Amino acid sequence: MNEPILEMRRVSKSFFGMKALRDVDLIAYPGEVHALMGENGAGKSTLMKVLSGAYRPDPGGEIRIEGKTARIDGPLAGRAAGISIIYQELSLAPNLTVAENIYL
């Protein structure tokens, strides 16, 4: 069986004492496609922002990329780990390629 390309274990995120994420686990294998679904406020965007480094997770969880513990403590660390996020806001530049829009 393939090794996971991404593992998030017991990931939590609080804002001013309110838990937005509590002990979330996510495992993704190469070639898989996943969808995060839920109501507004369920934590979908928060989870992706933790993964990309836009938010720092609460202590205690672990993120592993290709089997190695990843310390994603900011967006640059997220990008260095190979994580890119395109947010729902449609602020794409139509005259640029997909790759160029990702790197904006």
Q: Where are the domains of the chain?
A: 6-102
Beta strand segments in 34-92, E:
62-65, 68-69
Whether the Cβ atoms of residue 73 and residue 55 lie closer than 8 Å to each other: no
Residue 28 CB coordination number (10 Å): 13
> Which two tokens mark 11?
């990931």
Q: What is the pLDDT of residues 72-91, one digit of tens each?
A: 989 999 999 989 887 776 67
pLDDT tens digits along 50-69: 999 999 999 999 999 999 99
Q: Which CATH class is domain 6-102?
A: alpha beta
Per-residue pLDDT at 25: 97
Q: How far from the centroid of its chain's Cα atoms is residue 25's Cα?
A: 12
For 24, 25, 30, the CA distances from 75, given in Å and listed in that order, are 20, 21, 23
Read off the pLDDT band of 1 (50, 70, 90).
low
